[in-house]
Chain A
Amino acid sequence: MAESMVAVNNVTKVYQRGKQQVEVLHGLTLEIPRGDFVALMGPSGSGKTTLLNLIGGLDQPTSGEILVGGSRIDQLGSSQLAHWRAHNVGFVFQFYNLMPVLSAESNVELPLLLTKLSAAQRKKNAAVALEVVGLADRAKHKPRELSGGQEQRVAIARALVSDPQLLVCDEPTGDLDRATADEILGLLQVLNREHGKTIVMVTHDPKAAEFARRILHLEKGRLLEQAA
C-alpha cells in the first residue's frame, strides 16, 4: 500500500455564524496516498473548500486529527502552521491571487523570502519554476499584462517554487475558458505524474475532475463515494 500523504481522521468543523453554530464537516475520515491526484467534488456548501483549507493548514478542525506528510498539523499554533505551510504545501486559487505590484518573476520569488536562500539563488529558482510552467519569456510582466491562463501558470509556479510535496488547488480552472482550463489541468497532471506532486483539487467541473486519478464526492459535510 502507498505511503499516506494526507490522513484526515474523524474531523469535524463547526463555524460560528452570528449566534448560530454551523457544522460543516461531520466526523470526516479520508486518506490520500503520496503521489495521488484527487478531485473533490460536491454541491455548494458541501464542505469541499473547508476540507481543502484544513488539509492546507489554513484553518483548524473543531475536532479530529489531520496528518500531512506524517505531521499532526491540527495541533500546531498559528506561527508553527505558517512555517509549516511555507515549506510543505503550495496553493493555487481560482482567481490566481497574484500580487499586482510585482512582476511574474517576483510573484514566484515571494515564498522564497521565507527561506535562507541567497538573492541570486532565489532568482534562479523562480526562473526554473517559470520555465516549468512555460512562462520564462513573461518573467518581467506584471499580472495585469498577462492573460488569465498565464496568471494561473504564474500562480502554479509560485506554488511549486519552494518544492512542496502537496499542492492544494481551489477551483483552479473556475475562471478560465475550456481550452485554457485544459492546458492548466494538463500542467497539473504533468506535475503529478512527472514530478510526483500530490494534488488535492476542489472543482465543480466534471471535465476538470477527469484529469484527476480519483474523484471524491462530498455532500453535507460527509464523503459519499470514491470513483476511480
Chain B
Amino acid sequence: MTRAGFVIANLFRKRTRTILTLLSVLLAFVLFGLLQSVNSIFSAGESFVGATRLMTQARVSFTQPLPVSIVPKLEAVPGVARVAHSMWFGGIWQENTPLFVFAVDPLRQRDVYPEFVMPEAQWQSFAHTRTGIIVGKLLADQYGWKIGQKIPVSSNIYPQKNGSKAWAFDVVGIFDGKDEAWRKQTNQAFIQADYFDEANQFGTKGRANFFIIKLANGKQAESVSKTIDAMFENSPDETKTQTEKDFNLGFVKQIGDIGLIVHWILFAVFFTLLLVVGNTMAQSVRERIPELAVLKTLGFSDGAVLGFVLAEAFALCLCGGLIGLAIASLLGAMVAKGSGGQFQLELDGRIWAIGVLAIIVMSLAVGLLPALRARRLRIVDALAGR
C-alpha cells in the first residue's frame, strides 16, 4: 500500500457519492472546455490566413445594402479575381417555414462559388430565366422539389409591386456541394437579382447586402481587405471587408456579448460545483473524524493529515476535470468537422492550461477548509467524540 493508494481508497469509501460528484465535476469541465473554446473563437482577432474569399458589406450593418455599381471598382482591386453580390430575400415556404433565399447574379455566383456543383446547362437556364430559382439539394430533397416545378415562396420583407408578398419561382436547377462540408450548406436557394430588383416594391434597386470577393491569391487577403475598405472610406457607402469565417461569426455575435454570456454561465456552473464538491468533502471529513484522529495517533503529523484530505479533493477534481476536458476536446473536434471548419471549436493548449489551473484552484477551494479542520483535530477530543 502507498499513500496514493490510501487516498484513492478513502475517495471511494462511498462509491455512489464519489461517482456522482465526479460526474458533476466532469460535466462542469465539459461545459468549461466547450464554452471557453466558443469564447476564444469570438474573442480572437481577424485572421486572413488561408482565406480564399472575402465578404464586403456596409460598415455599419449588412442591413444597409450597398450599390451593385461598386462591383467594377471591387474587381479592379489587385488580387481580386471575381465578385458576386447577394441580397437577402427572407423566404417563407408554405405557412411559416423560413428559407435561406438570396437574390444573386447567376453567373457571378457560379464563378465565385465553385464549391456549389451544378450542370452548366442549369446555370445557363438560371441566367436566362427571370423567374428562375436554383435550390440546394438538401432543400430539394426535403420538400420534394423537381426541376420544372413552380414553387410559391413568400418573402417576409419584400412585397411585389402589386403589394403581394407571395412570389412564385420556377425551379431551373438543383445544386449540390463538392464535399460533405459543402453538402451541408445546400440548404439555401438563389433567385435572380435582376428579376428581384424589377419586381419588388421597395427602393432597393441595384443594391445588395453582401459582396463576395473571390481572391486570385489567398496570400493577398489582408491587403485586398484593407484596400477595399480604404477605397470607400469617407464615402456614403463605407465598407467592412472580412473573411467568410469572421463574417459568419459576426452573425452569431448579434445575439449579444458572447464573452460575457460565457463567463456568467461558467460562473454559475463553477459556483454550483464548489457547493456540491465542497459539501462532499466536508461531509467526508466529518464522517471520519475518529479515523483522522487514529492517523495522528499512529504518528502522521498534522500536515500529513491535511495533505491526505487535500489530495483527495485534488484527485477528485483532477480526475473529473481531465476526463471532462478530454470529452470537450472530442466534442469540439466533432463540431469543427461537422461545421466544415466554420466553427473551430477545438480546445487548444491555452484552454487546457486554464482548465488545469481551474482544477488546482477548485481543489484548493473545496479541500482547504475540510483539510484545515482535519489538521486542527485534537486527538484526545476526536477519539472521545467531542
Residues of A within 8 A of B (CB): 53, 56, 58-59, 78-79, 82-87, 91, 93, 97, 99-102, 105-106, 109-111, 113-114, 119, 122, 158
- Is there an interface contact between A114 and B291, defined as CB atoms closer than 8 Å? no
Within 8 A of A (CB), among B300-347: 300-303
- Is there an interface contact between B299 and A82, defined as CB atoms closer than 8 Å? yes
Within 8 A of A (CB), among B191-209: none
- Is there an interface contact between A79 and B303, defined as CB atoms closer than 8 Å? yes
Residue pairs across A and B with Cβ atoms less than 8 A apart, 25 shown, are A53-B379, A56-B297, A58-B379, A78-B301, A78-B302, A79-B302, A82-B296, A82-B299, A86-B299, A86-B300, A91-B297, A93-B294, A97-B294, A97-B383, A99-B6, A99-B294, A102-B1, A105-B1, A110-B295, A111-B298, A111-B299, A113-B1, A113-B6, A119-B2, A158-B298
- Is there an interface contact between A114 and B298, defined as CB atoms closer than 8 Å? yes
Among A53, A58, A105, A113, residue most surrounded by chain B Cβ atoms (within 10 Å): A113
Q: Which residue of B lies closest to A15 (CB)?
A: B380
B271 at the binding interface (Cβ < 8 Å): no
- Is there an interface contact between B13 and A100, defined as CB atoms closer than 8 Å? yes
Given contact pairs A97-B290, A97-B291, A85 touches B3 in the complex (Cβ within 8 A): no
User: With A and B bound together, what is the CA distance between A148 and B12 in angstroms?
Assistant: 24
User: With A and B bound together, what is the CA distance between A99 and B1 in angstroms?
Assistant: 13
CB distance from A17 to the nearest CB of B (A): 10
Contacts of A79 in B (CB 8 A): 301-303
Residues of B within 8 A of A (CB): 1-3, 5-6, 9-10, 12-13, 290-291, 294-303, 379-380, 383
Closest 8 CB pairs between A and B?
Answer: A86-B299, A101-B9, A106-B1, A82-B301, A85-B299, A97-B294, A111-B298, A58-B379
- Is there an interface contact between A99 and B301, defined as CB atoms closer than 8 Å? no
User: With A and B bound together, what is the CA distance between A79 and B302 in angstroms?
Assistant: 7
User: With A and B bound together, what is the CA distance between A119 and B1 in angstroms?
Assistant: 7
CB distance from B143 to the nearest CB of A (A): 63
Q: Which residue of A lies closest to B293 (CB)?
A: A97
Contacts of A56 in B (CB 8 A): 297
Contacts of B302 in A (CB 8 A): 78-79, 82
Contacts of A83 in B (CB 8 A): 299, 301
Contacts of A82 in B (CB 8 A): 296, 299-302
The number of A-B residue pairs with CB atoms under 8 Å apart is 74
- Is there an interface contact between A58 and B299, defined as CB atoms closer than 8 Å? no
- Is there an interface contact between A53 and B380, defined as CB atoms closer than 8 Å? yes
User: With A and B bound together, what is the CA distance between A99 and B12 in angstroms?
Assistant: 13
Contacts of B303 in A (CB 8 A): 79
| The residue from B12, B13, B296, B298 contacting A110, defined by CB atoms under 8 A apart | B298
| The residue from B5, B300, B380 contacting A59, defined by CB atoms under 8 A apart | B380
User: With A and B bound together, what is the CA distance between A56 and B3 in angstroms?
Assistant: 25
Q: Which residue of A lies closest to B378 (CB)?
A: A59
Contacts of A106 in B (CB 8 A): 1, 5-6, 9
| 10 additional A-B residue pairs with CB within 8 Å, beyond A83-B299, A91-B297 | A58-B379, A58-B380, A79-B302, A97-B294, A99-B294, A101-B12, A106-B5, A106-B6, A114-B300, A158-B298
| The residue from B3, B13, B296, B383 contacting A113, defined by CB atoms under 8 A apart | B3
Contacts of A122 in B (CB 8 A): 1
Contacts of B379 in A (CB 8 A): 53, 58-59
Q: Which residue of A lies closest to B303 (CB)?
A: A79
Q: Which residue of A lies closest to B301 (CB)?
A: A82
CB distance from B167 to the nearest CB of A (A): 73
Contacts of A119 in B (CB 8 A): 1-2
Contacts of B298 in A (CB 8 A): 85-86, 91, 110-111, 114, 158
- Is there an interface contact between A102 and B6, defined as CB atoms closer than 8 Å? yes
- Is there an interface contact between B1 and A114, defined as CB atoms closer than 8 Å? no
Contacts of A78 in B (CB 8 A): 301-302
Among B2, B296, B302, B383, residue most surrounded by chain A Cβ atoms (within 10 Å): B383
Given contact pairs A82-B296, A93-B383, A113-B1, A101 touches B301 in the complex (Cβ within 8 A): no
User: With A and B bound together, what is the CA distance between A126 and B3 in angstroms?
Assistant: 16
- Is there an interface contact between B380 and A102, defined as CB atoms closer than 8 Å? no
